[in-house]
Amino acid sequence: MRYVSATDAKQKLAALLDASQREPVMIRRQKRDVAVLLSPQEYQRLRALNAAEFQRFCDRVAKGASARGLTARKLTGILEDDA
């Protein structure tokens, strides 16, 4: 990963956009990481990983709830009681 200051990022944006196609570029301001430039392909890959992980989490929760006797009817009743 490449690191650049915010000032350098402003001055060299075109070059950093090109560099971000090969590797992420971390932009730092006052010694803190504030942003990352990524290629669209890397961004989509990360989004897909995040969505897949969330789906696995939902599946685990649903399986556990089902094993403890939660049904769609019971869930609907619980949700209606809270409304």
Question: Do 45 and 23 belong to one domain?
Answer: no
* The 32-37 sheet, strands edge to edge: 2-5, 25-29, 32-37
Q: What is the CATH number of the domain that holds 11?
A: 3.40.1620.10
Rounded mean pLDDT of 47-76?
A: 93
Question: Do 27 and 45 belong to one domain?
Answer: no
Question: Do 34 and 46 belong to one domain?
Answer: no
Question: Do 77 and 46 belong to one domain?
Answer: yes
Nearest to 21 by CA among 35, 43, 39, 4: 39
pLDDT at 81 over 90: no
User: 3-state DSSP helix/strand/coil percent for the chain, to nearest 5?
Assistant: 65, 20, 20
User: In total, how many domains does the chain have?
Assistant: 2
Question: Do 45 and 26 belong to one domain?
Answer: no
Residues with Cβ within 8 Å of 3's Cβ and at least 6 positions away in sequence, in order, are 25, 26, 28
Q: Residue 75 — pLDDT band, cuts 50, 70, 90? A: confident
pLDDT at 83 over 60: no
Q: Supply the range of the domain harboring residue 51.
A: 41-82
Question: Do 47 and 77 belong to one domain?
Answer: yes
Q: Which pTM was predicted?
A: 0.65
Residues with Cβ within 8 Å of 44's Cβ and at least 6 positions away in sequence, in order, are none
